[in-house]
Protein backbone atom coordinates (compact mmCIF):
# COMPACT_ATOMS: atom_id res chain seq x y z
CA UNK A 1 0.00 0.00 0.00
CA UNK A 2 1.39 3.40 -0.93
CA UNK A 3 2.11 5.28 2.23
CA UNK A 4 0.72 5.01 5.73
CA UNK A 5 -1.18 7.70 7.53
CA UNK A 6 -1.23 9.99 4.48
CA UNK A 7 -4.31 10.99 2.56
CA UNK A 8 -5.12 8.63 -0.28
CA UNK A 9 -7.26 9.08 -3.34
CA UNK A 10 -10.38 7.30 -4.61
CA UNK A 11 -11.25 6.73 -8.25
CA UNK A 12 -14.85 5.77 -8.94
CA UNK A 13 -14.47 3.69 -12.08
CA UNK A 14 -17.35 2.61 -14.29
CA UNK A 15 -16.51 -0.85 -15.61
CA UNK A 16 -19.11 -0.82 -18.38
CA UNK A 17 -21.53 -3.70 -18.94
CA UNK A 18 -19.01 -6.52 -18.55
CA UNK A 19 -16.89 -6.76 -21.70
CA UNK A 20 -13.35 -5.71 -20.69
CA UNK A 21 -12.80 -4.31 -24.18
CA UNK A 22 -15.39 -1.64 -23.36
CA UNK A 23 -13.28 -0.25 -20.51
CA UNK A 24 -11.95 3.25 -21.09
CA UNK A 25 -8.20 3.84 -21.23
CA UNK A 26 -8.48 5.88 -18.04
CA UNK A 27 -10.26 3.00 -16.29
CA UNK A 28 -7.47 0.59 -17.26
CA UNK A 29 -4.86 3.09 -16.06
CA UNK A 30 -6.52 3.55 -12.67
CA UNK A 31 -6.90 -0.19 -12.15
CA UNK A 32 -3.24 -0.70 -13.04
CA UNK A 33 -2.10 1.80 -10.40
CA UNK A 34 -4.52 0.99 -7.57
CA UNK A 35 -3.43 -0.32 -4.19
CA UNK A 36 -6.95 -1.56 -3.46
CA UNK A 37 -9.93 -2.32 -5.68
CA UNK A 38 -13.36 -2.44 -4.07
CA UNK A 39 -15.51 -4.11 -6.71
CA UNK A 40 -19.16 -4.94 -7.24
CA UNK A 41 -20.17 -8.44 -8.36
CA UNK A 42 -21.14 -7.22 -11.83
CA UNK A 43 -17.75 -5.53 -12.24
CA UNK A 44 -15.73 -8.65 -11.41
CA UNK A 45 -14.46 -11.39 -13.72
CA UNK A 46 -11.94 -10.59 -16.45
CA UNK A 47 -12.08 -6.86 -15.73
CA UNK A 48 -10.16 -7.47 -12.51
CA UNK A 49 -7.32 -8.80 -14.66
CA UNK A 50 -6.36 -5.18 -15.24
CA UNK A 51 -5.71 -4.63 -11.54
CA UNK A 52 -2.11 -4.11 -10.47
CA UNK A 53 -0.43 -7.33 -9.28
CA UNK A 54 -0.46 -7.25 -5.51
CA UNK A 55 -3.44 -4.93 -5.24
CA UNK A 56 -6.00 -5.85 -2.59
CA UNK A 57 -9.21 -7.03 -4.23
CA UNK A 58 -12.22 -6.54 -1.99
CA UNK A 59 -15.66 -7.77 -3.03
CA UNK A 60 -18.44 -5.35 -2.08
CA UNK A 61 -21.19 -6.64 -4.34
CA UNK A 62 -24.84 -5.90 -3.59
CA UNK A 63 -27.21 -8.36 -5.29
CA UNK A 64 -30.90 -8.80 -4.66
CA UNK A 65 -31.70 -11.77 -2.45
CA UNK A 66 -28.11 -12.30 -1.32
CA UNK A 67 -26.21 -11.42 1.84
CA UNK A 68 -24.08 -8.41 0.97
CA UNK A 69 -22.26 -5.55 2.69
CA UNK A 70 -24.36 -2.67 3.95
CA UNK A 71 -23.79 0.67 2.29
CA UNK A 72 -22.32 2.22 5.41
CA UNK A 73 -19.78 -0.63 5.57
CA UNK A 74 -18.68 0.13 2.02
CA UNK A 75 -18.45 3.83 2.82
CA UNK A 76 -16.29 3.04 5.84
CA UNK A 77 -13.96 0.82 3.80
CA UNK A 78 -13.39 3.59 1.25
CA UNK A 79 -12.56 6.09 3.96
CA UNK A 80 -10.34 3.67 5.88
CA UNK A 81 -8.27 2.67 2.85
CA UNK A 82 -7.83 6.28 1.75
CA UNK A 83 -6.82 7.43 5.23
CA UNK A 84 -4.04 4.86 5.13
CA UNK A 85 -2.71 6.54 2.02
CA UNK A 86 -4.01 4.05 -0.55
CA UNK A 87 -4.89 4.69 -4.14
CA UNK A 88 -8.35 3.16 -4.23
CA UNK A 89 -10.50 2.14 -7.18
CA UNK A 90 -14.18 1.78 -6.43
CA UNK A 91 -15.22 -0.41 -9.37
CA UNK A 92 -18.89 -0.27 -10.29
CA UNK A 93 -20.74 -1.86 -13.20
CA UNK A 94 -21.93 0.22 -16.13
CA UNK A 95 -21.56 3.90 -15.34
CA UNK A 96 -21.23 4.50 -11.61
CA UNK A 97 -23.51 7.55 -11.79
CA UNK A 98 -26.51 5.55 -13.02
CA UNK A 99 -28.24 3.71 -10.16
CA UNK A 100 -24.85 2.97 -8.60
CA UNK A 101 -25.39 4.61 -5.18
CA UNK A 102 -22.53 6.91 -6.07
CA UNK A 103 -23.88 9.90 -4.15
CA UNK A 104 -23.76 8.09 -0.81
CA UNK A 105 -20.13 7.09 -1.26
CA UNK A 106 -19.10 10.53 -2.48
CA UNK A 107 -20.80 12.03 0.55
CA UNK A 108 -18.75 9.85 2.90
CA UNK A 109 -15.50 10.88 1.20
CA UNK A 110 -16.39 14.57 1.26
CA UNK A 111 -17.23 14.37 4.95
CA UNK A 112 -13.82 12.80 5.58
CA UNK A 113 -11.98 15.31 3.39
CA UNK A 114 -10.76 12.67 0.95
CA UNK A 115 -10.22 13.62 -2.72
CA UNK A 116 -11.79 11.58 -5.48
CA UNK A 117 -12.51 11.46 -9.19
CA UNK A 118 -15.22 9.87 -11.33
CA UNK A 119 -14.21 7.85 -14.39
CA UNK A 120 -17.28 7.29 -16.59
CA UNK A 121 -18.18 3.87 -17.95
CA UNK A 122 -20.37 2.61 -20.79
CA UNK A 123 -23.93 2.33 -19.41
CA UNK A 124 -25.53 -1.08 -19.91
CA UNK A 125 -28.55 0.55 -21.56
CA UNK A 126 -26.30 2.01 -24.23
CA UNK A 127 -24.53 -1.33 -24.65
CA UNK A 128 -27.86 -3.15 -25.03
CA UNK A 129 -28.90 -0.86 -27.89
CA UNK A 130 -25.50 -1.40 -29.51
CA UNK A 131 -25.91 -5.16 -29.24
CA UNK A 132 -29.22 -4.84 -31.08
CA UNK A 133 -27.69 -2.59 -33.73
CA UNK A 134 -30.16 0.21 -33.05
CA UNK A 135 -30.05 3.80 -31.78
CA UNK A 136 -31.87 4.91 -28.65
CA UNK A 137 -32.99 8.13 -30.34
CA UNK A 138 -34.75 8.71 -33.63
CA UNK A 139 -35.20 12.05 -35.31
CA UNK A 140 -38.78 13.32 -34.85
CA UNK A 141 -40.07 10.15 -33.16
CA UNK A 142 -37.74 9.56 -30.19
CA UNK A 143 -36.16 12.80 -29.07
CA UNK A 144 -35.97 11.83 -25.43
CA UNK A 145 -34.31 8.95 -23.57
CA UNK A 146 -35.12 8.20 -19.93
CA UNK A 147 -33.29 5.86 -17.57
CA UNK A 148 -35.44 4.60 -14.69
CA UNK A 149 -35.11 2.01 -11.95
CA UNK A 150 -37.39 -0.99 -11.84
CA UNK A 151 -37.55 -1.32 -8.07
CA UNK A 152 -37.26 0.63 -4.86
CA UNK A 153 -35.49 -0.29 -1.61
CA UNK A 154 -38.07 -3.01 -0.95
CA UNK A 155 -37.59 -4.67 -4.35
CA UNK A 156 -41.03 -3.58 -5.53
CA UNK A 157 -42.04 -1.28 -8.37
CA UNK A 158 -41.64 2.27 -7.02
CA UNK A 159 -44.95 3.66 -5.86
CA UNK A 160 -44.17 7.19 -7.01
CA UNK A 161 -43.38 6.43 -10.65
CA UNK A 162 -44.23 9.12 -13.18
CA UNK A 163 -46.63 7.06 -15.26
CA UNK A 164 -47.29 9.90 -17.73
CA UNK A 165 -43.58 10.11 -18.56
CA UNK A 166 -43.17 6.35 -18.77
CA UNK A 167 -46.17 6.07 -21.11
CA UNK A 168 -44.86 8.78 -23.45
CA UNK A 169 -44.93 7.19 -26.94
CA UNK A 170 -42.22 9.59 -28.14
CA UNK A 171 -39.65 8.57 -25.54
CA UNK A 172 -37.27 5.64 -25.37
CA UNK A 173 -37.26 4.18 -21.87
CA UNK A 174 -34.50 2.05 -20.39
CA UNK A 175 -35.59 0.35 -17.18
CA UNK A 176 -32.83 -1.07 -15.01
CA UNK A 177 -33.41 -3.93 -12.56
CA UNK A 178 -36.72 -4.60 -14.25
CA UNK A 179 -36.87 -8.39 -14.29
CA UNK A 180 -39.30 -8.80 -11.38
CA UNK A 181 -41.42 -5.71 -11.81
CA UNK A 182 -41.75 -4.88 -15.49
CA UNK A 183 -44.68 -7.20 -16.16
CA UNK A 184 -46.71 -5.23 -13.60
CA UNK A 185 -45.56 -1.94 -15.09
CA UNK A 186 -46.47 -3.09 -18.60
CA UNK A 187 -50.07 -3.57 -17.48
CA UNK A 188 -50.15 -0.03 -16.17
CA UNK A 189 -48.58 1.35 -19.34
CA UNK A 190 -51.18 -0.40 -21.49
CA UNK A 191 -53.95 0.94 -19.27
CA UNK A 192 -52.45 4.43 -19.65
CA UNK A 193 -52.78 4.17 -23.43
CA UNK A 194 -49.36 3.07 -24.64
CA UNK A 195 -50.04 0.76 -27.63
CA UNK A 196 -49.60 -2.97 -27.10
CA UNK A 197 -47.43 -3.17 -30.25
CA UNK A 198 -44.86 -0.74 -28.82
CA UNK A 199 -41.45 -2.37 -29.44
CA UNK A 200 -39.76 -3.76 -26.34
CA UNK A 201 -36.54 -5.60 -25.60
CA UNK A 202 -35.42 -7.79 -22.72
CA UNK A 203 -31.62 -7.70 -22.42
CA UNK A 204 -29.62 -9.84 -20.00
CA UNK A 205 -25.87 -10.03 -19.28
CA UNK A 206 -25.20 -7.54 -22.06
CA UNK A 207 -21.76 -7.72 -23.75
CA UNK A 208 -20.75 -10.91 -21.92
CA UNK A 209 -20.59 -14.50 -23.26
CA UNK A 210 -23.92 -15.14 -21.49
CA UNK A 211 -25.67 -12.30 -23.32
CA UNK A 212 -29.31 -12.88 -24.12
CA UNK A 213 -31.43 -10.31 -25.93
CA UNK A 214 -35.06 -10.94 -26.81
CA UNK A 215 -37.30 -8.73 -28.90
CA UNK A 216 -40.92 -8.41 -27.93
CA UNK A 217 -43.71 -5.87 -27.77
CA UNK A 218 -45.18 -4.22 -24.73
CA UNK A 219 -48.10 -6.60 -25.01
CA UNK A 220 -45.91 -9.70 -25.18
CA UNK A 221 -43.02 -8.76 -22.90
CA UNK A 222 -44.36 -10.99 -20.12
CA UNK A 223 -43.42 -14.04 -22.21
CA UNK A 224 -39.82 -12.87 -22.48
CA UNK A 225 -39.67 -12.12 -18.75
CA UNK A 226 -41.09 -15.54 -17.87
CA UNK A 227 -38.14 -17.14 -19.68
CA UNK A 228 -35.56 -14.83 -18.08
CA UNK A 229 -32.30 -16.12 -16.69
CA UNK A 230 -30.35 -15.12 -13.59
CA UNK A 231 -28.09 -12.46 -15.08
CA UNK A 232 -28.37 -8.68 -14.67
CA UNK A 233 -31.16 -7.48 -16.91
CA UNK A 234 -32.93 -4.45 -18.24
CA UNK A 235 -35.87 -3.66 -20.49
CA UNK A 236 -35.97 -1.12 -23.30
CA UNK A 237 -39.22 0.03 -24.87
CA UNK A 238 -40.48 2.85 -27.07
CA UNK A 239 -40.07 3.81 -30.73
CA UNK A 240 -37.08 1.51 -31.26
CA UNK A 241 -35.85 1.26 -34.83
CA UNK A 242 -36.62 -2.39 -35.59
CA UNK A 243 -37.48 -3.66 -39.04
CA UNK A 244 -39.58 -6.36 -37.42
CA UNK A 245 -40.67 -4.96 -34.08
CA UNK A 246 -43.17 -7.76 -33.54
CA UNK A 247 -40.55 -10.50 -33.73
CA UNK A 248 -41.22 -13.65 -31.76
CA UNK A 249 -40.12 -12.83 -28.19
CA UNK A 250 -39.11 -16.44 -27.64
CA UNK A 251 -36.39 -16.17 -30.27
CA UNK A 252 -33.06 -14.84 -28.88
CA UNK A 253 -31.20 -12.40 -31.08
CA UNK A 254 -27.88 -13.18 -29.49
CA UNK A 255 -26.31 -15.10 -26.66
CA UNK A 256 -25.45 -18.65 -25.76
CA UNK A 257 -28.89 -19.96 -26.77
CA UNK A 258 -28.28 -19.26 -30.45
103 with 15, same domain: the answer is yes
166 with 230, same domain: the answer is yes
Is residue 1 part of the annotated active site? The answer reads no
Is residue 179 part of the annotated active site? The answer reads no
The count of structural domains within the chain is: 2
Is residue 248 part of the annotated active site? The answer reads no
**One of 41, 62, 80, 227 is an active-site residue; which one?**
62
**One of 92, 95, 175, 177 is an active-site residue; which one?**
177
Q: Could you list the pLDDT tens digit for every one of the 258 residues in the chain?
A: 444 456 899 999 999 999 999 999 999 999 999 999 999 988 888 999 999 999 999 999 765 555 568 999 999 999 999 999 999 999 999 999 999 899 999 999 999 999 999 999 999 999 999 988 889 988 888 889 999 988 877 778 888 889 999 999 999 999 998 888 898 899 999 999 999 999 999 999 999 999 988 899 999 988 778 777 778 889 999 998 665 443 433 334 444 333
**One of 40, 92, 95, 179 is an active-site residue; which one?**
40
**In 158-258, which residue ranges form alpha helices assigned H by DSSP?**
163-166, 182-191, 221-226
163 with 225, same domain: the answer is yes
Look up the domain containing 178 and give its range.
124-254
**Of 101, 119, 137, which residue constitutes the final position of a domain?**
119
155 with 128, same domain: the answer is yes
**Of 119, 148, 179, which residue constitutes the final position of a domain?**
119
Kindly list the distances between the CA atom of residue 192 and the CA atoms of 22, 142, 187, 201, 228, in Å, as whole numbers in the listed order. Answer: 38, 19, 9, 20, 26
52: left (phi over 0), alpha (psi -120 to 50) or beta: beta
**Of 93, 119, 145, which residue constitutes the final position of a domain?**
119
The pLDDT tens digits of the residues spanning 182-236 come to 988 999 999 999 999 999 999 999 999 999 888 999 999 887 787 777 788 899 9
The pLDDT tens digits of the residues spanning 37-49 come to 999 988 888 999 9
Amino acid sequence: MSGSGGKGFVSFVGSGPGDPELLTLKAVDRLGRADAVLFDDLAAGPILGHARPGAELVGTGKRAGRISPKQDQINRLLVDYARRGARVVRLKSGDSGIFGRLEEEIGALRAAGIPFEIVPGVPSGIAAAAALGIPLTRRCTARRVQFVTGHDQTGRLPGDINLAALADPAATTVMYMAKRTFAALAERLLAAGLPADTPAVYAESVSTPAQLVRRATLGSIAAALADAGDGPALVLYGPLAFDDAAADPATPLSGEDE
